Structure 1
Amino acid sequence: MILEVAVIFLAVLWVVTIAMFMGHTKRQRTLATQQVEADSLRDQRIRELARRLENYQGGTIRMGEELHELRATVAPLPDKITILEQRDPSTLSFAQAARLVTMGASVDELTQSCGLTQAEAQLMTKMHGNG
């Protein structure tokens, strides 16, 4: 009788162990599936962030190149301003040339009296007067 009870107890214990093992295996598969999904979402997010980073880097590079070009354009301006400030004060300014144009001065008169180039004098006459 003790042997029969021991065999029944071991059989029940074996069935309970198998059931627990099956439950544990099912939970492990569920966790593995969830982990794969989470990994997939993480990888997708990493690819999106990498793409955005590349866009920012490209924009920064373009901005740097444009800034370099702008610097090259602006660099000679202080020298040009100095040259303009050191011009002979006896020459008339563009504002004075504009007043002469409104008074009827010709292109030749502007070039002679104001020291303007032919193109500057023509521009002044087109902008301020006799056309």
Structure 2
Amino acid sequence: MNRVVGILAISVLSGRVSAQESQTTPKAAQVRIIHGPEIELAKAHLTIINWTTNNPGGSPVHYGIVHYGTDPHRLIETAKSPIRLNPAHSSTVFRVRLDNLEPRTTYYYTVDSMESTGKGDGVKNSVNHFSTP
């Protein structure tokens, strides 16, 4: 038992233990929204928006991005949420939580997604809106 712990400690300290990384999913020719975006939850100070795209592929870690604001021409706030792509699935569901919203206010938004490298998937929708209760 002590020998196993010692070998593990040496491996960790020497950097020989590697984290298992998901395989890269083949990059989609064109990423498109196939469902949504829609409001999953709306409260006075938070809202969750979700949408589904064909699997964008690329890096295993992606981010759902929501650009939003109270003026449809100035979407100056950004919320993002990480997700790990499943290479075996043909679609990906993104869910992003918007916090610190003002009650009884109309917000406008668009959605997008990007790889962990910061490279966008190019999947923007038209400007939508919701109102907090």
**Normalising by structure 2, what TM-score?**
0.22
Q: Which has the higher contact order (CA 8 A, sep 6+)?
A: 2
Q: Larger % of strand: which?
A: 2
Of Structure 1 and Structure 2, which has the larger fraction of its residues in helix? 1
Q: Which has the larger radius of gyration?
A: 1
Give the TM-score taking structure 1 as reference length. Answer: 0.22
